[in-house]
Amino acid sequence: MKRSYFFQLRGRLLFLICLATLPAFLFTFFVAENERTATLARMERDALHLAGLASREHAHQVRGARELLSWLGAKLAREGPQSPIMTDPDFLQALLAGHPQLANIGVLSPDGQVLASAYPLASNRSWKDNPAYLAALRSREVATGTYLISPIFERPTLNHAFAVRDADGQVIAVLFNGLDLAWLSEMARQSNLPDDFSMFIADREGHVLTYGGSVDPQLAETTELHIPGILSLSQSRHGKMLEIGGAGIRRYFVAVELEEASELLVAVGLPYDRVVRETNFAFYRTLAGLAVLTLFTIVAVFIAAELGILRGIRSLARTAQRFGAGELSARAKAPRGHNEFASLAATFNTMADALEARHREAVDGQARLRALASRLQVAHETEAARIARELHDEIGQMLTSLKIDLLRLQSHCPASEPNMPCATALQEAIGTMNQQIDTAVDFVRRISADLRPGVLDKLGLTAALEWLARKIEARTDLVIEVEADNVDAACDEFLSVTLFRITQEALTNVVRHARADMVRISLVTTEQEAVLTICDDGLGIAMDAAEGSGSLGIIGMRERAMLVNGRLSINGAPGQGTTVTVTVPLQLTPEAADANLTG
């Protein structure tokens, strides 16, 4: 049965390689996963940092705008109405050019009318309702208004105002400027934001005042943008996926409050899905690289194992199989070098040489033992035949002669006195002795027949088998059928004796163990061989008993068959009877022939 791949050396080697690379694979997976998480966290942290920079930049711009108004107010207070601030338009225009973050710089009358403006106005407008103007009238500091959509620039501006007072504290003029949120776009441009990154300034309700960075066509075409839930982001300091209302674009937003303008928020929108895709791509690329490296390692190890180990092991295994199949000349090819496999191959060859020598010795010894057993068997049969002849001829004749002598002794009694006591006693003694002599003659004949049936020598094997069957039927309840070809001409004496003895032993086993009712004996011959079959309907024999070495009778039958170069097989099953089959060639083996001639 073929072993599964896992239990082969290749399967175990693959398992060990996978087991060895598993920690590296898990570690790489862990590092890649951490890197992905860290990348997303770093992206959020960088966005918060960028929003913080924007908030601080806004505070810086606001403080700059305030400081500018404070400086202008001090200058105007010193110089009075003749100051170039009020009399020279070029002065304000030059000042505005030096502060590009400002939308405008100008001077208001105490009642809110525009007296001077760096940005040329189409018409003078009143500031009397402007929150920064009203706050400045009530304060001696620079007042900050709120971001309003400038009617002049049509974009959000943060107004600052400062009331310039005389020595009596009366307002002689109000300075103002407008901080333009366009600086956000410039800051986003200079920050080199990645593609799809945007910065937004929105109020607490989420209404977008301005934005910078990557301009999506949908954003450019939308006039009113709204980011719901942005206020909660500034409080949690964590990002969240939000949709930009009016444009239908989803971004991952982080937000912080603008310094110096707490009513506004600066938000950074990240293309979260794209970043996640790119991060996942890097993650899977790392895993794919590790998989390719692992596959390359497995292939390299397999090639190295194939060239260095597996090929030699397979060669050694094939050599061992050939050796086990009986090819004792098979030897392993030892590789070059002095490695472990070369030592293993040399050890195997040394073992094979020793086993081959032992096998030759065993075969020679077995041949000698069989030749000896053949000679002993022939000698035994010859001696049994001689003893049987002597018993039959010598002792039988002596007993017959003794019986005749006893009958003569009876004639010496006087015929005229037959009733004499001595005559009567003599006749009774002679009768008893005659019966004992007859019994002894029968016993000698039976022993002689057991040692060597005379019918085998005189009438041949077929008649001997029939005689043996009838003899066993006479003393048992068995019914024995004999079907035999006339093989006497084809079988020599030694072969006939061997087949007869095997049949005799088989019938003895049937009588002792089989509890059979009927036995069939068949002897069939061809030109080359004779086949003897003894089949009974008894209890049957188990296969382990038929093939084992516990029965001396079975061993004897096998040895007798081997002496004539034959084969003996025993088949049976419990309750189905037993069949003994002997197949022998009609020509004697050299050992048997030599033993027969010697005998």
Task: Quick: pLDDT tens for 264-320.
Answer: 888 888 776 777 777 777 777 877 877 787 778 777 777 776 666 666 777 777 888
264 with 362, same domain: the answer is: no
The alpha carbon of residue 9 and the mean position of all alpha carbons in its chain are separated, in whole angstroms, by 12
Per DSSP bridges, beta strands 529-536 and 479-484 are: unpaired
With pLDDT > 70 as the criterion, what percentage of the chain qualifies? 71
Q: Furthest-apart CA pair in the chain: how many Å?
A: 213
CB 151 within 8 A of CB 84: no
pLDDT digits (tens, 9 = 90+) for 478-517: 889 988 877 666 677 778 888 888 888 888 888 888 888 8
Residue type present at position 322: R
Query: 578-585 and 156-165 as β-strands: parallel, antiparallel, unpaired?
Result: unpaired
Predicted local confidence at residue 596, as pLDDT = 46
Report the CATH number that the domain containing residue 246 is assigned in CATH: 3.30.450.20
pLDDT of residue 455: 64
Q: Are residues 244 and 363 in the same domain?
A: no
3-state secondary structure (DSSP) of residue 107 = strand
Q: Return d(Cα 268, Cα 514) in angstroms, integer.
A: 103
Q: What is the C-alpha separation between 15 and 4, in angstroms, rounded?
A: 14
Closest C-alpha among 195, 196, 173 to residue 85: 173
172 shares a domain with 125? yes
- Tell me the pLDDT tens digit for each residue of 85-118: 888 888 888 888 888 888 889 898 898 888 888 8
Closest CA to 119 of 176, 189, 199, 188: 176
Last residue of a domain, one of 180, 195, 211: 180
Number of neighbouring beta carbons within 10 Å of residue 27:
11
Question: Domain residues for 52?
Answer: 12-58+184-275
Model confidence band, residue 589 (pLDDT cutoffs 50, 70, 90): very low
- Could you tell me if 495 and 590 lie in one domain? yes
- Based on the domain organization, do 120 and 54 belong to the same domain? no
**1 falls within a domain:** no
Please report the pLDDT score of residue 535 as a whole number.
92
Model pTM?
0.46
Given 258, 275, 292, which residue is the final one in a domain?
275
In-domain check, residue 283 = no
Q: Are residues 130 and 271 in the same domain?
A: no
For residue 126, what is the DSSP state?
A: B
> Do residues 200 and 149 share a domain?
no
Do 258 and 150 reside in the same domain of the chain? no
Q: Which of 157, 180, 203 is the last residue in one of the domains?
A: 180
The predicted pLDDT at position 533 comes to: 92
Is 204 in the same domain as 241?
A: yes
Give me the pLDDT at residue 558, please: 84
Predicted confidence (pLDDT) per residue in 4-18, tens digit? 555 566 677 677 777
How many domains would you assign to the chain?
4
Distances (CA, A) of 142 to 162, 163, 246, 257: 5, 8, 37, 22
526-554 per-position pLDDT tens digit: 888 889 999 998 888 877 766 665 567 78
The CA distance from 30 to 101, in Å, is 48
- Spatial distance between the Cα atoms of 409 and 555, rounded to a whole number of angstroms: 54
- Residue 392's alpha-carbon distances to 312, 371, 459, 501, in angstroms, are 73, 31, 17, 21
Distance between CA 66 and CA 75 in Å, rounded? 14
482 and 575 in a common domain: yes
Three-point CA angle 311, 316, 321, nearest 5°: 125
What residues pair up with 171 in beta bridges, in sequence order? 165
Please compute the mean of the pLDDT values over residues 332-336 and round it to a whole number.
71
* Cα–Cα distance, 166 to 506 (Å, whole number): 151
d(CA 519, CA 578): 10
Residue 2 lies in a domain: no
Give the dihedral of Cα atoms 177, 178, 184, 189; nearest 10 deg: -70
Shared domain for 350 and 410, answered yes or no, is yes
| Residue 552 contacts residue 583 (beta carbons within 8 Å) | no
The residue behind tokens 């009203």 is 134
6, part of any domain: no
Q: Which residue has the higher pLDDT, 460 or 487?
A: 460
Examine residue 324 and state whether it is found in any structural domain, yes or no.
no
Does residue 413 form part of some domain? yes
* Residue 317 within any structural domain of the chain: no
pLDDT in tens, 136-145: 999 889 988 8
Distance (Å, whole) CA 181 – CA 176:
16
Task: Indicate whether 42 belongs to any domain.
Answer: yes
Please check whether residues 585 and 477 belong to one and the same domain: yes
Helix (H) or strand (E) run with residue 54 in it: helix 9-79
- Counting Cα atoms < 13 Å in the Cβ hemisphere of 387 gives 14
Residue 232 pLDDT exceeds 60: yes
Question: Minimal CA–CA distance to 316: which of 355, 343, 337, 353?
Answer: 343
List the CATH number of the domain containing 534: 3.30.565.10
- CB atoms inside a 10 Å sphere around CB 73: 22
- Give the count of alpha carbons within 13 A of 541, CB side only: 24
The answer, yes or no, to whether residue 162 has pLDDT greater than 90, is yes
Rounded Cα–Cα distance for residues 137 and 164 (Å): 9
